[in-house]
């Protein structure tokens, strides 16, 4: 899977994946969605973002989780 809107630059935010080179980390966008913010609220908070940026951030996060083993607590 290729990501056209996600950039990684070791000289910017320590190489954290960002949206289109804007100093807006993917994790911030995904966290805002997890906190219940709507797309419109996110776009108002970050006017440089576009709706496609939000969707690609979610796809990137889904792929990142798919590719790793995460330490999850087992249900009792």
Q: Are 17 and 24 in contact (CB under 8 A)?
A: no
For 36-56, what is each residue's pLDDT tens digit? 999 999 999 999 999 999 999
The stretches in the chain having pLDDT less than 50 are none
Q: Are 51 and 43 in contact (CB under 8 A)?
A: yes
Q: Where are the domains of the chain?
A: 6-63
**pLDDT computed for residue 59 by the predictor:** 94
**pLDDT computed for residue 71 by the predictor:** 59
The DSSP letter of residue 11 is: T
**pLDDT computed for residue 69 by the predictor:** 65
First to last CA, the chain: 36
CA atoms within 13 A on the CB side of 23: 4
CATH class of segment(s) 6-63: mainly alpha
Where do runs of H (alpha helix) occur along the chain?
26-34, 39-45, 51-66
């Amino acid at each position: 899977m290729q990501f056209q809107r996600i950039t990684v630059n070791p000289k910017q935010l320590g190489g954290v994946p960002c949206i289109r080179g804007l100093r807006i980390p993917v994790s911030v966008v995904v966290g805002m969605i997890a906190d219940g913010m709507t797309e419109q609220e996110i776009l108002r908070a970050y006017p440089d973002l576009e709706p496609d940026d939000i969707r690609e951030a979610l796809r990137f996060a889904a792929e990142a989780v798919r590719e790793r083993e995460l330490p999850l607590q087992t249900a009792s």
